[in-house]
């Protein structure tokens, strides 16, 4: 006898796959088991019992001289069949036992209908085929790998401690509470992540309450390993979704096996219903064996006919039920959109609007899970949400960056504010808002930052820097920043990243924007009105402007400092500068200017002008600066200026003048009539001679002619007794005057890369000059007397 368990290999091997078996597959599996038992039972009877019993049909009276041996043989045969009494009362034949066996076999082969002979084997074969069809998609390599991956992923999600935290975060519970909740179903077969919910908009799902069980208190924080595992699971879900949504092999395999089952059902019903009446008890047999037995016609009894007839009708009923179930499955497959799955109902129910709809095989598996238990797909939807992922990341981030760790990173910035700088973090730790002493917050390359209402705890926060960060503000946070923020710096790659809330910062005093404000140089600038910034005094724009933005005029009445740094784009229209009369400082850097803009000359309050890195060749217009009587600093460095006009003498208010990195060859003596100069930088030019009139500059404290072609220094230079910094490096000097001793305040002297053979010992009178401030070759320093060297080395 063949045990039924031997056929178990035709069904699924992993109990975990049950989650993808809807009710009709489970039902048909049970029907298959019953049909399999019918087939096995029939085959067993065929093997263990006689199949047919035949008796010769007389056409004439038997011979009267039948031997006694033949009578005994017939008595013995009939006694085995138990169909006649022990005493022989019927007709006698002259056949022996071997002849009866031969007749039974011949009639079984020739006279018995094939359906009556092979019915149990047909049942067995058909049932095995149906069982294979029901579970073929679990075995096929292209589909089974995706299913195994999916089931494994669900199990790991459920086992992760972060799963419970994700669910509590999504449901709005306090993550620090000790009580946690988990799914109470599916634990016997597979575990699924509570954070992974997704649900189709069906009436049955709406009526299903979420099953939760309260567990023992869990730790409020999780270790780093668990956090990394949770992060890996999120990435795994993303990659799996991308992979599975590319094809529909699971859907096609399931459709094909269902079609095969329907076809098989029709085939079985068709031929079985027409042949079931062929299973009869009495069978007339006529075979040409008269020469061996003396008889040609026989009457036979099919011993299993009655039982096989009942089994066949029962089998037909089971196949009919199986077929109707398969037809329902076909209807479900073809009349519903199973390659698309919408989480609209979940989005409405949970308020998580970023749960994506899925398609193809991913959608099909979720539809199948809904038939098993809709709760799984509902939870899976939450786990697909980026909001859920970000909340988990936030918990991990808060655990890693504690308030104590952040306090160790506090530094004082250039504005003398206590600053915290965070770089390339996955988010903004909530613990930042526990640093109540924080005055400046600098965030670099941190994506998807959401500033909560708790920022209002930072009462001293005045400065915020956002470098390539996408920032979203809570309503309360926006109100707080409007009232408290004084300085805002934003660096962006795309003008769409420019936050709209910055235009409402009414107490802002300094705004710095770095990024492309004009996608097309010939079109409008993407910068909205700054009218609400009533306190804005400093505006810095590092962009690709072709004209002064009209929005700057909105703050012209109180704007004092304007810094425009272009990326080399030519700044053509500067007329709006005339509408900003209160400017004190103006920078036009890398704007491809060829002349000093005439609009600048109307800025009567201007104190500092920087035209660095332009293409200015001539500065004849410099005479117009005489109307700017408050101008104290002029920076014309990094240009292509070849000479300085004599009109420079008109700029009597100048205190700092930058002409470095130009092509100046001659210094006019009129330059030194600007007798208020304290800072003069002429480095990196082609100057060969310094006029003696330099001695007029009695206020000069900084003088640099580094990287020129100077061969001699006038003695008058050393009459500038207030000099503290003197840079003479990289020239052609061979001697330095002993009058350098007049520079008693000198603290920095650069002589490197010249032609000196020795240093004058008069350097010893420069008491403020130390070895660290003397930039010279070591060998040349050794030419000084030892006492002077010791004096300089003494700090």
Res 201: pLDDT: 39
| pLDDT at residue 164 tops 60 | yes
> Any alpha helices (H) in 171-304, and if so which ranges?
203-206, 224-244, 249-275, 290-293
Is pTM beyond 0.75? Reply is no
Q: Which of 754, 744, 795, 761 is nearest to 777 (CA)?
A: 754
Range in 150-159, 596-605, 657-666 with the lowest mean pLDDT? 150-159
pLDDT digits (tens, 9 = 90+) for 195-215: 333 333 333 333 344 433 333
| pLDDT at residue 377 tops 50 | yes
Q: Are 646 and 673 in contact (CB under 8 A)?
A: no
Res 150: pLDDT: 81
Contacts of 170 by beta carbon, 8 Å cutoff, 6+ apart = 195, 350, 352, 382, 385, 387, 388, 391
Confidence of residue 224 (pLDDT cuts 50, 70, 90): low
Q: What is the mean pLDDT of the chain?
A: 80
- CB pairs under 8 A, 24+ apart, for 58-67? 58/91, 58/295, 59/296, 59/297, 62/91, 62/92, 62/93, 62/94, 63/94, 66/92, 66/93, 66/94, 67/94
pLDDT digits (tens, 9 = 90+) for 710-769: 999 999 999 999 999 999 999 999 999 999 999 999 999 999 999 999 999 999 999 999
| pLDDT at residue 217 tops 50 | no
Confidence of residue 556 (pLDDT cuts 50, 70, 90): confident
Query: Whats the size of the chain, residue-wise?
Result: 795
The CA-to-CA distance between both ends of the chain, in Å, stands at 106
| pLDDT at residue 323 tops 70 | yes
Q: What is the mean pLDDT of residues 346-359?
A: 76
Q: Which of 430, 465, 413 is nearest to 444 (CA)?
A: 465
| pLDDT at residue 182 tops 50 | no
| pLDDT at residue 418 tops 90 | yes
The pair of three-digit structure tokens given for residue 420, joined into one six-digit string: 């915290």
Helix or strand or coil: residue 396?
Answer: helix
| pLDDT at residue 697 tops 80 | yes
| pLDDT at residue 477 tops 60 | yes
Task: Centre a 10 Å sphere on the Cβ of residue 733 and count the other Cβ atoms it contains.
Answer: 18
Confidence of residue 218 (pLDDT cuts 50, 70, 90): very low
Q: How far apart are CA 490 and CA 473, in angstroms?
A: 15
More confident residue, 522 or 478: 478
Helix (H) or strand (E) holding 101: helix 97-110
- Residue 766 to residues 265, 741, 771, 777, 788, Cα–Cα distance (Å): 111, 6, 11, 19, 10
Res 614: pLDDT: 94
Task: Calculate what percentage of the chain has a pLDDT beyond 70.
Answer: 82
DSSP state of 547: B
Res 211: pLDDT: 39
Confidence of residue 668 (pLDDT cuts 50, 70, 90): very high
Task: Calculate what percentage of the chain has a pLDDT beyond 90.
Answer: 31
Q: What is the mean pLDDT of residues 149-164?
A: 72
Q: What is the mean pLDDT of residues 345-349?
A: 75
Res 184: pLDDT: 42
Confidence of residue 370 (pLDDT cuts 50, 70, 90): confident
Range in 53-62, 90-99, 444-453, 493-502 with the lowest mean pLDDT? 53-62
Q: What is the mean pLDDT of residues 512-541?
A: 77
Q: How far apart are CA 244 and CA 510, in angstroms?
A: 51
Range in 69-73, 404-408, 560-564 with the lowest mean pLDDT? 69-73
């Amino acid at each position: 006898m063949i045990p039924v368990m031997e056929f178990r290999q035709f069904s699924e091997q992993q109990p975990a796959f049950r989650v993808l078996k809807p009710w009709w597959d489970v039902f048909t599996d049970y029907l298959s088991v019953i049909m399999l038992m019918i087939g096995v039972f029939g085959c067993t009877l065929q093997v263990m019992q006689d199949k047919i019993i035949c008796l010769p049909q007389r056409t004439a009276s038997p011979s009267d001289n039948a031997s006694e041996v033949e009578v005994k043989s017939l008595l013995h045969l009939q006694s085995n069949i138990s169909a006649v009494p022990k005493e022989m009362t019927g007709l006698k034949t002259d056949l022996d036992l071997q002849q009866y066996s031969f007749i039974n076999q011949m009639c079984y082969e020739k006279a018995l209908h094939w359906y009556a002979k092979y019915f149990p084997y047909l049942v067995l074969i058909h049932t095995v085929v149906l069982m294979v069809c029901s579970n073929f998609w679990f075995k096929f390599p292209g589909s089974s790998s995706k299913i195994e991956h999916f089931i494994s992923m669900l199990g790991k999600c459920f086992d992760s401690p972060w799963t419970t935290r994700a669910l509590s975060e999504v449901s709005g519970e306090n993550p620090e509470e000790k009580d946690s909740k988990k799914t109470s179903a599916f634990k016997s077969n597979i575990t699924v992540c509570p954070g992974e919910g997704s649900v189709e908009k069906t009436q049955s799902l709406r009526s299903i309450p979420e099953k939760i069980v309260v567990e023992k208190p869990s730790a409020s924080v999780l270790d780093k390993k668990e956090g990394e595992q949770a992060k890996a699971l999120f990435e795994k879900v993303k990659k799996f979704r991308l992979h599975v949504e590319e094809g529909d092999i699971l859907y096609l395999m399931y459709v094909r096996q269902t079609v095969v089952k329907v076809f098989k059902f029709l085939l079985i019903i068709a031929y079985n219903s027409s042949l079931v009446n062929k299973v009869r008890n009495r069978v007339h047999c006529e075979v040409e064996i008269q020469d061996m037995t003396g008889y040609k016609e026989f009457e036979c009894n099919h011993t299993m006919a009655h039982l096989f007839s009942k089994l066949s009708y029962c089998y037909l009923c089971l196949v009919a039920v199986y077929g109707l179930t398969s037809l329902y499955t076909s209807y479900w497959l073809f009349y519903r959109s199973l390659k698309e799955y919408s989480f609209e109902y979940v989005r409405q129910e949970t308020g998580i609007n970023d749960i994506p709809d899925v398609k193809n095989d991913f959608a099909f598996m979720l539809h199948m899970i809904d038939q098993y238990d809709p709760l799984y797909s509902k939870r899976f939807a939450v786990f697909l949400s980026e909001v859920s992922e970000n909340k988990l990341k936030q918990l991990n981030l808060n655990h890693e960056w504690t308030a104590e760790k952040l306090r160790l990173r506090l530094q004082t910035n250039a504005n003398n504010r206590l600053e915290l700088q965070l770089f390339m973090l996955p988010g903004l730790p909530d613990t930042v808002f526990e640093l109540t002493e924080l005055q400046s917050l600098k965030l670099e390359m941190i994506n998807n930052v959401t500033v909560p209402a708790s920022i209002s705890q930072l009462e001293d926060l005045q400065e915020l820097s956002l470098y390539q960060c996408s920032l979203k503000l809570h309503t309360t946070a926006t109100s707080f920043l409007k009232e408290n923020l004084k300085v805002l710096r934003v660096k962006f790659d795309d003008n769409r990243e420019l936050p709209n809330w910055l235009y409402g910062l009414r107490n802002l005093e300094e705004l710095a924007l770095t990024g492309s404000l004009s996608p097309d140089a010939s079109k409008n600038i993407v910068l909205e009105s700054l009218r609400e910034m009533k306190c804005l005094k400093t505006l810095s724009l590092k962009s690709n402007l072709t004209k002064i933005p009209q929005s700057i005029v909105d703050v012209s009445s109180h704007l004092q400092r304007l810094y425009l740094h272009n990326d080399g784009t030519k700044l053509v229209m500067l007329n709006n500068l005339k509408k900003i009369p209160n400017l004190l400082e103006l920078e036009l850097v890398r704007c491809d200017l060829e002349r000093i803009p005439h609009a600048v000359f109307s800025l009567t309050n201007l104190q500092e002008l920087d035209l660095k890195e332009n293409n200015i060749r001539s500065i004849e217009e410099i005479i117009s600066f005489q109307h700017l009587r408050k101008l104290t600093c002029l920076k014309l460095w990094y240009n292509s200026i070849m000479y300085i006009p004599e009109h420079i003498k008109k700029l009597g208010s100048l205190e700092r003048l930058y002409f470095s990195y130009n092509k100046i060859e001659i210094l006019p003596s009129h330059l030194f009539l600007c007798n208020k100069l304290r800072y003069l930088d002429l480095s990196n030019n082609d100057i060969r001679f310094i006029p003696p009139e330099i001695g007029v500059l009695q206020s000069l404290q900084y003088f640099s002619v580094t990287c020129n072609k100077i061969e001699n220094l006038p003695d008058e230079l050393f009459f500038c007794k207030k000099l503290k910094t003197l840079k003479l490096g990289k020239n052609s000097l061979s001697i330095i005057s002993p009058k350098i001793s007049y520079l008693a305040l000198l603290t920095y002297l650069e002589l490197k890369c010249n032609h000196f053979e020795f240093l004058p010992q008069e350097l010893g009178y420069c008491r403020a000059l130390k070895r660290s401030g003397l930039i010279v070759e070591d060998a040349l320093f050794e030419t000084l007397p030892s006492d002077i060297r010791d004096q300089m080395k003494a700090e």
